[in-house]
Amino acid sequence: MSFSNLLIKWYLQKKRDLPWRNTINPYLIWLSEIMLQQTRVAQGMPYFLSFTTAFPTVFDLAKANEEQVLKLWQGLGYYSRARNLHKTAQFVANELDGIFPDNYKDLLQLKGVGEYTAAAIASFSYNEVIPVVDGNVFRVLSRYFDIETDIASASAKKEFAALAFELMAKDNPALFNQAIMEFGALQCVPKSPNCSICIFNESCTALQKKKVDQLPVKSKKLKVRKRYFNYLVVTDELGNTIIQKRTAKGIWHNLYEFPLIETDKEEDFDCIAEQIQNDFFKGNSILSVTESNEQSIVHKLSHQHLYIKFWEVKIEGIIANGIDAKNLKTFPFPIVIHNFIERE
């Protein structure tokens, strides 16, 4: 039996029942693919269900305001995905009459849709004969064929896409693409796969050469930047606080946060208290400053590690434009701040 036929037979027996697999609606498939970028299915599933409940069509998503979208996205990370999602929904609804492009080339023109996502929508919605190459596909093919090309290199995508195209059943490319991605997610997993029960254990080249744990080859990531965030959680006589919107480009764009002191290293109480006294809340007397968490909360992003402390600042009088505890919870925050608020 050929690689493709054996793979599809396995898939039809072992596949997970996922809601975006039970449709060819490009809106739902696009939504799921954007959400599952850099995200495990178990983590993404509740968000997919929340979004499809709140915004059952692309028109519903287009009509929402950005803060609604960011609030629903809260905790999923990579917030530029949510902002691009919203802008693309508005473009499709308003400029394309709610109809998604029906081919890979035109799908690439949508904001936030790269080669992988365009291929996935073209394949799963329109059954276009195009390979969908993600980390799972890199792993399965590199092991089965003993390919040592660095998957982080510029040439890798083209090489693996060409091989996948050669292997796929041209009469049902969507089924092949789903099958090989699922095989990588469930069977040919990154660490310690159970090769003894694998359908390819007699033909997998990496297994024969005892190289499974060495493939795929991937060069090391860029150095991670460390940043030190000190959030000032202010409370006035009414119990109100203040927040601000992150308008600068970069992480958490258009999300909300407490007033922030960013430092070059982890600073002690005296240093932060002095900055608060000198630079903040000059219209009100500061009654007390308390360190909420002695140990920094380490929030890891793909390219940055944030060391976060919350400082509770009580002030005399009433803050202009203060926000009470109930309204505070309606704003979209980075998940680390959201969790702090929920704990209070």
Domain containing residue 237: CATH number:
3.90.79.10
Same-domain check for residues 229 and 308: yes
What is the pLDDT at residue 302? 85
Q: What is the tally of structural domains in the chain?
A: 3
Q: DSSP letters along 175-210, please? A: HHHHHHHHHHHHTS-SSS--GGG-TTTTT-HHHHTT
Same-domain check for residues 206 and 111: no
pTM above 0.75, yes or no: yes
Same-domain check for residues 5 and 116: yes
Which amino acids are annotated catalytic? 33
Same-domain check for residues 170 and 275: no
When pLDDT is cut at 50, 70 and 90, the band that residue 220 belongs to is confident
Same-domain check for residues 109 and 137: no
Same-domain check for residues 326 and 243: yes
Other Cβ atoms less than 10 A from the Cβ of 24: the count is: 14
Residue 279 — φ and ψ, nearest 5°? -115, -10
Q: Give CA separation, 208 vs 120, 145, 146, 183, 204, in Å.
A: 32, 11, 10, 19, 6
Domain containing residue 239: 225-343
When pLDDT is cut at 50, 70 and 90, the band that residue 7 belongs to is very high
What is the pLDDT at residue 282? 83
How confident is the model over 222-278, as pLDDT tens digits? 789 999 999 999 999 999 999 999 999 889 999 999 999 999 999 999 999 999 999
How confident is the model over 52-108, as pLDDT tens digits? 999 999 999 999 999 999 999 999 999 999 999 999 999 999 999 999 999 999 999
Same-domain check for residues 195 and 91: no
Same-domain check for residues 87 and 159: no
Last-in-domain residue among 180, 203, 220: 220
Same-domain check for residues 175 and 265: no
Other Cβ atoms less than 10 A from the Cβ of 67: the count is: 15
